[in-house]
Amino acid sequence: MILQSDKPKEECAIFGIYNSKEAANFTYLGLYSMQHRGQESSGIVTTDGSHLYRYANMGLVANIFTQPKIKELIGDSAIGHNRYSTTGASFLRNAQPIRVESHLGPVALAHNGNLVNSWDIRNRLERDGSIFQTTIDSEVIVHLMAKSHKTDLLEALCESLGQVRGAYSLLVLTPRYLIAVRDPNGFRPLVMGKRSDGAIVFASETCAFDITETEYVRDVEPGEMVVIDHTGMRSLYPFPKAKPSLCIFEYIYFARPDSYIFEESVYKVRKSLGRQLARVMPVEADVIIPVPDSANIAALGYSEESGIPYQSGLVRSHYIGRTFIEPDQKIRDFGAKIKYNVVKEVVNGKRVVIIDDSVMRGTTSRKIIKMIRNAGAKEIHFRVSAPPTVSPCYYGIDIPTHKELIASTHSIDEIQKYLRVDSLAYLTLDTMHKAVEGHKGGGFCDACFTSNYPVEFQDHAGNQKSLFTEYATEE
Amino acid sequence: MILQSDKPKEECAIFGIYNSKEAANFTYLGLYSMQHRGQESSGIVTTDGSHLYRYANMGLVANIFTQPKIKELIGDSAIGHNRYSTTGASFLRNAQPIRVESHLGPVALAHNGNLVNSWDIRNRLERDGSIFQTTIDSEVIVHLMAKSHKTDLLEALCESLGQVRGAYSLLVLTPRYLIAVRDPNGFRPLVMGKRSDGAIVFASETCAFDITETEYVRDVEPGEMVVIDHTGMRSLYPFPKAKPSLCIFEYIYFARPDSYIFEESVYKVRKSLGRQLARVMPVEADVIIPVPDSANIAALGYSEESGIPYQSGLVRSHYIGRTFIEPDQKIRDFGAKIKYNVVKEVVNGKRVVIIDDSVMRGTTSRKIIKMIRNAGAKEIHFRVSAPPTVSPCYYGIDIPTHKELIASTHSIDEIQKYLRVDSLAYLTLDTMHKAVEGHKGGGFCDACFTSNYPVEFQDHAGNQKSLFTEYATEE
Amino acid sequence: MILQSDKPKEECAIFGIYNSKEAANFTYLGLYSMQHRGQESSGIVTTDGSHLYRYANMGLVANIFTQPKIKELIGDSAIGHNRYSTTGASFLRNAQPIRVESHLGPVALAHNGNLVNSWDIRNRLERDGSIFQTTIDSEVIVHLMAKSHKTDLLEALCESLGQVRGAYSLLVLTPRYLIAVRDPNGFRPLVMGKRSDGAIVFASETCAFDITETEYVRDVEPGEMVVIDHTGMRSLYPFPKAKPSLCIFEYIYFARPDSYIFEESVYKVRKSLGRQLARVMPVEADVIIPVPDSANIAALGYSEESGIPYQSGLVRSHYIGRTFIEPDQKIRDFGAKIKYNVVKEVVNGKRVVIIDDSVMRGTTSRKIIKMIRNAGAKEIHFRVSAPPTVSPCYYGIDIPTHKELIASTHSIDEIQKYLRVDSLAYLTLDTMHKAVEGHKGGGFCDACFTSNYPVEFQDHAGNQKSLFTEYATEE
Amino acid sequence: MILQSDKPKEECAIFGIYNSKEAANFTYLGLYSMQHRGQESSGIVTTDGSHLYRYANMGLVANIFTQPKIKELIGDSAIGHNRYSTTGASFLRNAQPIRVESHLGPVALAHNGNLVNSWDIRNRLERDGSIFQTTIDSEVIVHLMAKSHKTDLLEALCESLGQVRGAYSLLVLTPRYLIAVRDPNGFRPLVMGKRSDGAIVFASETCAFDITETEYVRDVEPGEMVVIDHTGMRSLYPFPKAKPSLCIFEYIYFARPDSYIFEESVYKVRKSLGRQLARVMPVEADVIIPVPDSANIAALGYSEESGIPYQSGLVRSHYIGRTFIEPDQKIRDFGAKIKYNVVKEVVNGKRVVIIDDSVMRGTTSRKIIKMIRNAGAKEIHFRVSAPPTVSPCYYGIDIPTHKELIASTHSIDEIQKYLRVDSLAYLTLDTMHKAVEGHKGGGFCDACFTSNYPVEFQDHAGNQKSLFTEYATEE
């Protein structure tokens, strides 16, 4: 069986560095530290001021990049990308950074986020004679640049970005420039730092700064374009201002707890979510256990607030491959057992509170609950450190469709029955926002909980056909 | 750089199953669940009653075994092995299970533990004309069997085992028999279970039973030989009785917390060690943080006993490969940073207690402590949930030599200075034993803490030369 | 050392089949039989009437295509391509058939020959916003189609081909059409045949018909476009008529002797060239030996005409890889020795005539001659079954530059001295043409011997820079 | 389909070199030049006077050995081996040279030929406690040495070889010695040479001397053991004298025409066989065509003697892989077509004489004949430059069993009918021997034509069971 996670998937991590003797090596380390944001493919493009050098492959950062590959990626500026595919099929051709040659010279691009009008633009461009190389949304940005009559690259980039809508934290590398841009709503994070040797660094999360000994300076702001070349660094705001719509799911689930994003500690917010949950959804019980590892911090918050002891009642395997060979004699809850095992000692005869950070389809949760019940739990109370997820995301997170989201089609009572728990409760929308109250960055996007989408989107379901029938070995 | 752990390494996991339609598939799952006991190579041998079928390769279980490979491993009995090399070079030729053809017919063998007189025997056998295929200690067992004049396999096996000394939890597979043996001291664990379809299962730990839906029945006892064939199951005790010497390090570090070994819950013992530590080595502090993941449970015990809150102050990466490309501009504490990152939010301005389960060389501990100090910790207290490790193990654990073990050559004060902590304390020997007090299984081996070796060993350092210069790709 | 041949290289083979239940399998066999025309990469595109399915890889046909791959290439029409790179770097991305998606739908294209104005067109298209995927000349054809305002694919193809100049034997596959086109000069061969089950087949040479049990019908004529779809087969002549300029080097060296191309047997023409050579350049000698295998047939002709016995005095190895590890103690004539060895028995004490079909740089010839001299030959007479090669080819053959071509910069006498032979003679231009006299197909291109280029070419040396710095593993 | 040749297979090539700075590199080149004697696996063992270094793999020499591998094979003496399996399954474990460690220290061995009593010895050794590593006959030699009570390696080797019977051209390498031995009958060739830098070289054929710039000195004589160490070179004759029984098939088919073996030119003997055939089995015809490439030289002999012109009427592909994907619509004579194609121009309307060197099952011959008939041949006369092959070989050539050999079970008339030729004739036994008349080396083994076996053999058909069920990927 192919192992499927019941968690939403982040689409990617981006990393960029300007003016470092070991640009490729630092990019490799930065990407390694952000592997949790995309495990499908990775790539690095460097420049020595004349050419662009690229290497990308399917797989994990630590396996793809070897010493000789890093050595071949010469030059003192670089951008890198970890990909999990939200748009476009899962093939090497779709690995980022994209690199193309056009009348503007060579350009490379690493993109985190999703454009909502890329299929319209793509269809228009194809009608006009463009031939696309990939099936990912980001490619329209370079085609729009190639089509631009602007001969200045920055102008062409601004013109191009002026036509796309949606979420983009973007790094652009040319022989001259390293450019970092965040869309006007600022959906996805993008932090900026500085190394003691003067190198400027960009990354999706600050955990990439820790491993590269970079000091966190500030976020690239929503709508800001930071341009670096040999003349120095400039900050531009070329787009109309928009309402900040930072992705709150980054705090709830995606980002590493040791990162700072949107200018706040992920650990702090995540624990605060757990505390809020304990306040509004208390329960009498003997033990708190998280669904590891993503719910650990929220569970600690719940435990502290409630006084009920926290235990590691579920052990998670870290040796997981993509597929598993299931016996013909079906093993109950096989998919969950491959990943989790219950510590009987912890739950046997106990009233157990399970903390999870989100529930999508509910299938894995149900299996975990059954395993805990079979291990002898007397009562099981399920608590979710976020509101019910009712709508998909069009800005770069792979959340299932309405039809698949259990909270979109079922009441809390029905979900409780489906999960077979003694009680079930979610965080309320208000208390979730309380956990980020006073947040300097301002507004958040909570569309997956409310269906209030800050940027209108095209229903591209119908268009998102695979362009080609492709073979994995092909490229 | 090659990433080196400062933790002792377990040499292997073994798994066996008799009378199951999907013997190979269950063995694969069992090995997968015990991947923590050996990540270098894995192998499975099956039998259909006439032939033995073998497949082994370097790497992780989830990567090595594919559906077609499993299908080729026909038959309804099987044994499997995960290897981390304690003796013998790291080559495919040394992967277990060993399978040989001799006058006794085909025999396969999976061995967990270390023999202490294998080099003597090997030298004697070579002088007598034997040609060895591997450089692992286990091979002497099959050579002694091949040399035996007994024509009965069981007698030949007993005669062979009568000549070796040391630690062995052993599974032997022939077209007729599945045999499970544990050495008279019972150094290494070996559990026995039963599936509802009647299959008999053996494994190093019970976590392998959970994934294969096997009910835990009992341990194979020290000195016991369990023999299964078409006539049924027999239990023999062919060796002179010896003092039980169960490896206490299995509880402290190796075994999975969700396993039962030596007839007790690992989680329970591990937490008890943490509680004992809090009692005898208390400290005033703001926060308890474990070195994840192995010290998590002991830290929970320490936290519960002391009342000081437990926090996940260190984040551990699970995307680690075998080697990492370090920049020429050295990154401080690179080796530790690849694996761990500090959550600044948790430790900044705090008095921190770090809980670890053991300290070998102390190098990684020192780096972690420095990272926590740099993140703003006000005080750092280091607590170890075991006594100082002062001696190597000759029974199957890869503990560094006396020279390398910091506690073997330095006083507690000196270690505290080296680690640069505000206080340092270990669990005492007595309180460690208290944590397993009343243990049904009886005595434990604590040689690594006391240098009291239950079985005399040959100083084979001088003999442990590599026999051949071998190339990794060769076989 | 990388082994370099001193022979010109053919750029490719193409194969197409319409209306066959096993289109992919027959294409695979056809490509296999034309492996001599390109050994760098191969690819097949099939269609089931709705989609295009593609697989391409670096390496030999017999290694690349496996049963599962062939099975995945579903549909009853297919085109295939063997590539040796004349334009564009040697990367998988450049493997043909090219397949793109544009407003005309999916289109695949396999091209043999070289365009002479592709760089001009490419630069124009890039200035206009096109982004190219490969560095091969053939890609401009699909970009011109994509840019066309014609909505009918045939019209767009004609419009596109109306803009390119040079050599193209072309197969185009869409869900509806299989189209075969030969440029107005007919530089490169393209034969058409029919299988007994009704399938229509196209190939570069008839040897591909023998293995696929196809009956040779006729050549696609210079300037002809054959269009097949469900309504039947049509023949169009959409281009202005031009003087036929069939590549005479196909007869001299490239094509297999068992093939018919340009409506004549290659074996017959090649032998006739040998006979002519014996007539105009006779010599007294004891033995005729060819440089195997390409000069074998001409040598037989020379032997028959002269009465001097033909012997296999040089043995050629067929186990050659791309690179060879040379000892530090240099072996004399290593590059030649890896490929050829002398049969001492044949040449010792003899007056030897060596027959070769062409001399480019002369370096390998010189080494072979030295080896034969060392084996005891009394006299060595070198005869070439073609005129001196003085100019490069711009229509699809990889002939060295003027500077490298020994006959371009040296007189016959000087070459004789360089080769250290007792006599040296080439076929004259007139007698070469006599060997193809009365040829139904009409005129030949002999530009490599005369510098009379039938189609004006752009000196693209300056433009033929590599677009990107690419890594072999990348794609 | 798996492509099967209807030719007998040679089991191997051996190469050895003593006292050369680039021992591994020269061995690699020597093995490369003798690739025709074994294409399944290759290996090299070197010594620096202390250790043995080994690398072996499945596949062709030019693909297996890379620069880094050659560099790792340090030391100034080496032996190498190309294997085609006659005994033992086709797995890497069976690749030679064998290398073992015993009480005599490390020993490596490369063996060409077949032992006829190895299974008896093996069974005896296994009963006595030996465990074999491979399933090849050569391994008994090292086990007998390991079992020997002689502490001197040479004495142990002589004692071991004194117990085996059959064919062996053997190279033995230890940190001290390079030893070359040929069995008393001298079945298989073994030549000795010297490089100008003083290195001593051994090889199966002299073609290996040409590429390594080695001067051919003499053959290792039947029954001779040449021993080289730092004290110099000695020649021993430790075995009882036997009747020379050189393999005549080496001249007929196996050896390269540019080699000298048994102190005579292969080309000369092979051509003489063709001349004899023309004398005793003449025919009126228009054209002589060989089955390429092995029958080329005999065909030249036949042509010269008969005056009928020689033509290359069959083209042979050299891009052949191990398997081919056949369409479901069967292609007539597919197996032969993958390898051969007819030049219609040569045979159409002609009376054709086909020359082949041997016929085993006759299946491929029949297909080739049919292809030539379909190409328009008026008459087909089949001539074989050897007598009918009626018996298998037990000395190292893989000739089919009696049951499969068409000449063993059918009369010449019946074969002619089966092949559908207008006439069929073989060389007579007497005239075959005439072609090697006055041969210095003395007697030949012609058992495959006469069933007169010079050394009694064990019918090991029954014993030649595969010992293990093995998987190709295992080792």
> Is D211 within 8 Å of chain C by CB?
yes
Number of Cβ within 10 Å of residue D162's Cβ equals 12
pLDDT for the residue numbered C89: 52
Q: How confident is the model at residue C23 (pLDDT cuts 50, 70, 90)?
A: very high
Mean pLDDT of the C64-93 span: 84
CA dist C193 and C202 (Å) reads: 6
Strand partners, D380: D352
> Is C328 within 8 Å of chain D by CB?
yes
Q: Which of B60, B257, B319 sits opposite A312 (nearest CB)?
A: B257
Neighbours of chain B (3+ CB pairs under 8 A): A, D
CA dist D365 and A104 (Å) reads: 64
CA dist B352 and B333 (Å) reads: 20
Task: Tell whether D306 is in a known binding site.
Answer: no
Per-residue tens of pLDDT for chain B, all 475 residues: 665 667 766 679 999 999 999 999 999 999 999 999 998 899 999 999 999 999 999 999 999 999 999 999 999 999 999 998 555 555 777 889 999 999 999 999 999 999 999 999 999 999 999 999 888 899 999 999 999 999 999 999 999 999 999 999 999 999 999 999 999 999 999 999 999 999 999 999 999 999 999 999 999 999 999 999 999 999 999 999 999 999 999 999 999 999 999 999 999 999 999 999 999 999 999 999 999 999 999 999 999 999 999 999 999 998 877 678 889 888 888 989 999 999 999 999 999 999 999 999 999 999 999 999 999 999 999 999 999 999 999 998 888 899 999 999 999 999 999 999 999 999 999 999 999 887 665 699 999 999 999 998 764 443 333 333 333 333 3
User: Is A207 an annotated catalytic residue?
Assistant: no
Q: What does the block give as tokens for B353?
A: 């207690």
Q: Which of A126, A147, A473 sits opposite C129 (nearest CB)?
A: A147
> Is B429 within 8 Å of chain A by CB?
no
pLDDT for the residue numbered D413: 97
Q: Which of C197, C258, C325 sits opposite D343 (nearest CB)?
A: C258
Mean pLDDT of the C120-133 span: 94
Tell me the C-alpha to C-alpha distance, in Å, between residue D102 and each of B9, B123, B127, D153, D155. Answer: 31, 9, 7, 11, 15
CA dist B333 and B284 (Å) reads: 28
Residues B272-307 have pLDDT tens digits of 999 999 999 999 999 999 999 999 999 999 999 999
CA dist D3 and C460 (Å) reads: 46
CA–chain centroid gap for C190, Å, is: 12
Task: Tell whether D357 is in a known binding site.
Answer: yes
CA dist A363 and A359 (Å) reads: 9
Q: Work out the angle at residue D446's Cα, subtended by the Cα atoms of residues D440 and D451, and round it to the nearest 5 degrees.
A: 150
Q: Work out the angle at residue B149's Cα, subtended by the Cα atoms of residues B146 and B152, and round it to the nearest 5 degrees.
A: 80
Q: What does the block give as tokens for B218?
A: 């009992």
- Greater confidence (A253 vs D437) lies with A253
Number of Cβ within 10 Å of residue C323's Cβ equals 12
CA dist C440 and D447 (Å) reads: 57
pLDDT for the residue numbered A371: 97
CB contact under 8 A, A471 and C69: yes
* Pairing label, strands C191-195, C169-173: unpaired
CA dihedral D97, D100, D104, D110 (to 10 degrees): -10
Helical spans, DSSP H, in D10-151: 23-33, 61-64, 67-72, 118-127, 139-147
pTM > 0.90: no
Tell me the C-alpha to C-alpha distance, in Å, between residue B203 and each of B224, B277, D15, D47, D287. Answer: 15, 31, 49, 44, 75
pLDDT for the residue numbered C368: 97
ipTM field: 0.92
What share of residues in chain C are helix, strand, coil (percent, to 5)?
30, 25, 45
CB contact under 8 A, B54 and D99: no
Q: Residues 12-71, chain C: which have Cβ within 8 Å of D? A: 21-22, 25-26, 28-29, 32-33, 35-36, 39, 60-63, 65-67, 70
Task: Tell whether D356 is in a known binding site.
Answer: yes
Q: Which of A21, A296, A311 sits opposite B312 (nearest CB)?
A: A296
Are A310 and A300 a contacting pair, CB within 8 Å? yes
User: Is C468 a residue whose pLDDT tops 50?
Assistant: no
Number of Cβ within 10 Å of residue D331's Cβ equals 17
DSSP line for D77-99: EEEEEEE--SSS-SSGGG-SSEE
Of A11, A12, A246, A270, the catalytic one is A12
Of C12, C220, C226, C419, the catalytic one is C12
Residues 6+ apart with CB under 8 A from C417: none
CA–chain centroid gap for C290, Å, is: 21
Are B375 and B347 a contacting pair, CB within 8 Å? yes
Residues of chain A with Cβ-Cβ distance to B256 below 8 Å are 315, 341
Tell me the C-alpha to C-alpha distance, in Å, between residue B344 and each of A294, B313, B352, B377. Answer: 18, 8, 12, 9
> Is B103 within 8 Å of chain D by CB?
yes
Q: How confident is the model at residue C9 (pLDDT cuts 50, 70, 90)?
A: low
> Is D325 within 8 Å of chain C by CB?
yes
Gap from B17 CA to chain A (nearest CA, Å): 14
Task: Tell whether D259 is in a known binding site.
Answer: no
Task: Please name the residue of chain B whose CA is at the shortest distance from the CA of residue A312.
Answer: B297
CA dist B22 and B30 (Å) reads: 12
What share of residues in chain A are helix, strand, coil (percent, to 5)?
30, 25, 45
Gap from C77 CA to chain A (nearest CA, Å): 16
Q: What does the block give as tokens for B415?
A: 């270690």
Length of chain A: 475
CB contact under 8 A, B468 and D132: no
CB contact under 8 A, C133 and A129: no
Length of chain D: 475
Query: With the C-alpha atoms ordered C242, C243, C249, C255, is the resulting torsion angle positive or negative?
Result: positive
Strand partners, D210: none
Q: Which of A67, A297, A318 sits opposite B318 (nearest CB)?
A: A318
DSSP classification of residue A360: S
Residues of chain D with Cβ-Cβ distance to C25 below 8 Å are 325-328
Residues of chain D with Cβ-Cβ distance to B475 below 8 Å are 92-93, 475
Secondary element (H or E) of residue D229:
strand D225-229
Residues of chain C with Cβ-Cβ distance to A130 below 8 Å are 102, 129-131, 146
> Is B328 within 8 Å of chain A by CB?
yes
Task: Tell whether D448 is in a known binding site.
Answer: yes
Neighbours of chain C (3+ CB pairs under 8 A): A, D
* Residues of B tagged active-site: 12
Are B247 and B386 a contacting pair, CB within 8 Å? no
Q: What does the block give as tokens for C122?
A: 């490419």
Burial degree of C458 (CB within 10 A; 0-12, 13-18, 19+): middle
CB contact under 8 A, A258 and B61: no
pLDDT for the residue numbered D92: 78
CA dist B395 and C31 (Å) reads: 61
> Is A435 within 8 Å of chain B by CB?
no
Mean pLDDT of the D96-104 span: 93
Binding site for [4Fe-4S] cluster: which residues of C? 247, 393, 445, 448
CB contact under 8 A, C25 and D327: yes
Pick from B292, B193, B179: nearest CA to B238: B179
Residues A302-319 have pLDDT tens digits of 999 999 999 999 999 988
In three-state secondary structure terms, B407 is helix
CB contact under 8 A, C57 and A473: yes
